[in-house]
Structure 1
């Protein structure tokens, strides 16, 4: 049974870096393992290494090329496809919940003068969640976690801006966007917990 040599495995890894810019070790190791197995299978069917290499990378080219959606820029397509559906569904759900609840509870919020308390609370929760994630995962690297850290930071920054602009003056009309940001933060934290532990650099 034919197996790849150390030099051939190194050649595959270098190709993943130079051709597809797979910069994170965890993703590269996972892809390398799959590709090496497929090349070995072809070699055991009688193909030479160079030919098996070309056939395998032609097959993987679409999956390893960057995802076309701007949100996943510089992310291999096979990873972007794993995230896109749940990201879109969650964003839509967060928007529906965040935009509808303040208006459905308008009378209750205004009658009890809760707009300022709720607005400040949503902002502070969003800011604190963003800060917690950025500190906890500061040195952790990976495609998904890097993207989620940017999202968390953006939501925290928007929440901080609203907090500083409207502290003491929140109305129920300002609550939807702030609640949406807070719900996004919760979603991002749930997603970060799904990411397998990665090595710190």
Structure 2
């Protein structure tokens, strides 16, 4: 049974870095393992290493190339495909909840003058969540966690802007957007918890 040499494994890893820019070790190790197994299978079927290498990378090319959607820029396609469906569903769900709750509670909010308290509170929660994630996962690297950290911080920044601009002057009409931002953050934080622990660099 033929197995890859250390130099051949190193060659595959270097190719993943140079050709596909797979910069995070955890993802690279996972892909390397799959590709190495496939190359070894082809070698055991009688193919030379160079030929097996070309066949395997031709097969993997689409999966390793960057995902076309800008949201997952520089992320290998096979990873982006894993995230896109649940991200879209969750974003739509957050929007529906964020738009419907203030609408359903409109009379209660306006009658009790709660818009300013709710607006300020939601903004502060969002800002604190952004800061917490930034600090807790500051040195943690990985495709998914890096993307989620950016999203959480962006939502926190939008909430900070609204807090500064409308402090003391929140109205019912401003609540949906900041509630949606906060719900996005909660979803992103749940997703961060699903990401397996990665090495801190």
Structure 1 and Structure 2 fold alike (TM over 0.5): yes
Q: How much has 1:43 moved relative to structure 2? A: 0.5
Q: How much has 1:113 moved relative to structure 2? A: 1.1
CA distance in 2, matches of 1:87, 1:68: 15
CA distance in 1, matches of 2:136, 2:4: 39
Alignment RMSD: 0.5
Q: Give the secondary structure class of the aligned counterpart of 2:93.
A: helix
Q: How much has 1:89 moved relative to structure 2? A: 0.4
CA distance in 2, matches of 1:127, 1:188: 14
1:53-73 Cα offsets, whole Å, 9 max, x none, are 000000000000000001011
CA distance in 1, matches of 2:78, 2:23: 15
Q: How much has 1:4 moved relative to structure 2? A: 0.2
1:27-79 Cα offsets, whole Å, 9 max, x none, are 00000000000000000111100000000000000000000001011000000
Q: Give the secondary structure class of the aligned counterpart of 1:68.
A: coil
1:118-156 Cα offsets, whole Å, 9 max, x none, are 101110110011100010000001000110111011000
Runs of 4+ with deviation above 4 angstroms: none
Q: How much has 1:9 moved relative to structure 2? A: 0.1
CA distance in 1, matches of 2:123, 2:160: 7
Q: Which runs of 5+ in 2 are unaligned?
A: none
Q: How much has 1:100 moved relative to structure 2? A: 1.3
CA distance in 2, matches of 1:24, 1:45: 32
Q: How much has 1:177 moved relative to structure 2? A: 0.2
Q: How much has 1:112 moved relative to structure 2? A: 1.1
Q: Give the secondary structure class of the aligned counterpart of 1:175.
A: helix
Q: Give the secondary structure class of the aligned counterpart of 1:138.
A: coil
Q: Count matched residues.
A: 201
CA distance in 2, matches of 1:182, 1:156: 8
CA distance in 1, matches of 2:52, 2:199: 32
Q: Give the secondary structure class of the aligned counterpart of 2:139.
A: coil
| TM-score scaled by length of structure 2 | 0.99
